[in-house]
């Protein structure tokens, strides 16, 4: 025979109260964890948005900068002609030897002053060179070719214009680089390249200078 023992409300209520309290505590803990996670996600999203904004601003500032780096060799006449032309069009030519050294190497100076929107590289026959056993031929200085490669990598080919004066050897590695002869209509060509990347060009000034 099975005996039934009656259960009083006093026996049930403490258990229910304890269970309810534990459930509430668990719910509060979960809510706090969710709140913490949401805060972290919000901070991460804000940082990502700020980083993207900074990157876009940096890219736009570089793209619209009217600072133009002029890479040159020993031909001072070509350098001054190009610099003067850029200034008359409202650009700021950056010429490396005019900048303070501050104990830096050439490439450190190039990197320090490389925040420009465009680069003009002057390929002039300042040196001679050839393969071993060959006949020496006029060529651009090695630092000019190094800086040409640097700005091609930094700015992209569309923001680099090479101007060639005289007869000189062009390295095969740079065969894909478009260059303009300074014996021709290089001013119009340079103006077109600058305009193509978004700069406003006063063509009346181009034709006058």
Tokens of 25: 């505590």
3-state secondary structure of 181: strand
Residue 190 pLDDT greater than 90, yes or no: yes
Predicted confidence (pLDDT) at residue 57 exceeds the cutoff of 70:
no
What is the largest distance, in Å, between two alpha-carbon atoms of the chain?
121
Please report the pLDDT score of residue 151 as a whole number: 92
Task: List all residues 6 or more positions away from 152 whose beta carbon is below 8 Å from its beta carbon.
Answer: 160, 177
Residue 138 pLDDT class (50, 70, 90 cuts): confident
Is pTM, for the whole model, over 0.75? no
Residue 104, pLDDT score: 82
pLDDT of residue 172: 63
Q: Mean pLDDT across the chain, nearest whole number?
A: 81
138: CB partners within 8 A, 6+ apart: 125, 127, 128, 166, 167, 168, 169
The least confident of 44-48, 112-116, 188-192 is 44-48
């Amino acid at each position: 025979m099975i005996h039934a023992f009656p259960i009083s409300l006093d026996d049930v209520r403490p258990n229910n109260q304890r269970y309810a309290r534990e459930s509430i505590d668990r719910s509060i803990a979960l809510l706090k964890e969710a709140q913490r996670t949401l805060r972290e996600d919000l901070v991460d999203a804000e940082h990502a948005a700020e980083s993207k904004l900074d990157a876009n601003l940096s890219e736009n500032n570089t793209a619209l900068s009217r600072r133009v780096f002029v890479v040159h060799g020993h031909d001072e006449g070509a350098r001054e002609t190009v610099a003067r032309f850029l200034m008359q069009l409202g650009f700021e030519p950056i010429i490396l030897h005019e900048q303070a050294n501050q104990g830096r190497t050439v490439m450190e100076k190039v990197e320090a002053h490389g925040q420009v929107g465009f680069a003009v590289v002057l390929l002039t026959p300042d040196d001679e060179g050839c393969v071993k056993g060959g006949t020496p031929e006029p060529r651009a200085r090695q630092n000019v070719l190094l800086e040409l490669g640097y700005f091609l990598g930094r700015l992209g080919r569309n923001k680099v214009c090479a101007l060639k004066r005289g007869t000189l050897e062009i390295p095969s590695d740079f065969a894909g680089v478009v260059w303009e002869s300074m014996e021709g209509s290089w001013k119009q060509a340079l103006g077109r390249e600058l305009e193509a990347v978004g700069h406003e060009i006063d063509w009346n000034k181009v034709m006058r200078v």
